[in-house]
Amino acid sequence: MPRRPEPMSFSLPAGTDPASVRARVVMLERLLERSFTIPGVNVPVGLDAIIGLVPVLGDVVTTALGAYVVWEAKNLGLPKWKLARMGANVLLDTAIGAIPVVGDAADVLFRSNSKNLRILMRHLDKHHPETRVIEG
């Protein structure tokens, strides 16, 4: 009798240390902004654009997920001006995303989670260089 394939699994670290936060935020950004590629045009799309298609509830969910990244950044001690910039990215994404049709297209173009990840990564690279991961 053939063996069943094992289900894919991964575990994210649950700690509050900078390396654990980095791993969680990178995974969340990848899920929200670059989960798969649209065939033919090779544009990466994530759950942010898909969930955003659901009126009102989709915008609430994607805003909450974007706010989670800002919350993680706050817990790491990012300066208030960086947190304000990250919050502004989430608010702008939410405001644009609330516009029917136009907002759905804008979710593919304006990637607030990617922008916020970049801000967070710069901070981590400068203040917690031991969290850097060399990808092969």
* Structure confidence at residue 132 as a pLDDT band (50, 70, 90): confident
Q: 43 φ, ψ to 5°? A: -105, 125
In the block, tokens 């994607």 appear at 62
45 forms beta bridges with 36
Provide the total of helices (H) and of strands (E) in the chain, helices listed first: 6, 2
Domain boundaries, the chain: 18-128
For position 130, what pLDDT does the model report? 86
Distant-in-sequence, close-in-space partners of 24: CB < 8 Å, separation ≥ 6: 12, 13, 72
Provide the token pair at 81.
Answer: 């001006």
For the cut 80, the answer to whether the pLDDT of residue 2 exceeds it is: no
Q: 65, 71, 74, 57: which is closest to 111 by C-alpha?
A: 65
The candidate with the shortest Cα–Cα distance to 23, out of 35, 34, 13, is 13
Which of 8-17, 100-109, 118-127 has the weakest average pLDDT?
8-17
Please give the average per-residue pLDDT across 57-66, as a whole number: 93
